[in-house]
Amino acid sequence: VLDMKEKRAKVCKMQVVEDVKEVILSSRSAKPFKVLDMKERFFDFDSASSEYLDTKALKISKISSMKFTNRKQGTVYYKNNFGELQTWNEVNVLKAGVKIEDIASFCLRKLDDGVELTQSKKTDLSK
């Protein structure tokens, strides 16, 4: 099974989950594999981060190192290269008007639109 998926993966570019799903589904035409989306077992970090964080100033694709401290919550320290001489830059990633207390009391929502798993499948997955 892995050999077929590995062969397909070499030909296709897999960058997101949907790409991996497509490779698995198309790797065996006679008896295709079944792929089960399990979104209900995951939390919606995307909407939570959109609600509280503004990371545009962070330019995360150019960062080589990041650190966080408890002393300055909501602040991210970063470097753009691995050099010892470069000082840490800092950026506040909280949106205007958002306080740490708002995030601390926030309850993460679960992703919906998922396929409901049967109890026997849940038991099997937890083994």
Q: Which residue has the tokens 């995030």?
A: 103
Q: At residue 2, does pLDDT exceed 70?
A: no
Across the range 66-89, mean pLDDT stands at 91
Percent of the chain, pLDDT > 90? 26
Where do the domains of the chain lie?
1-42, 43-104
What burial class does residue 116 get, using C-beta atoms within 10 Å of its C-beta: 0-12 exposed, 13-18 middle, 19+ buried? exposed
pTM, entire model: 0.53
pLDDT tens column, 34-63: 888 776 677 888 888 889 999 898 888 999
Amino acid 89: pLDDT? 93
pLDDT tens column, 104-115: 888 888 776 655
Q: Find out whether 58 and 91 touch, Cβ atoms under 8 Å.
A: yes
**Amino acid identity for residue 127 in this structure:** K
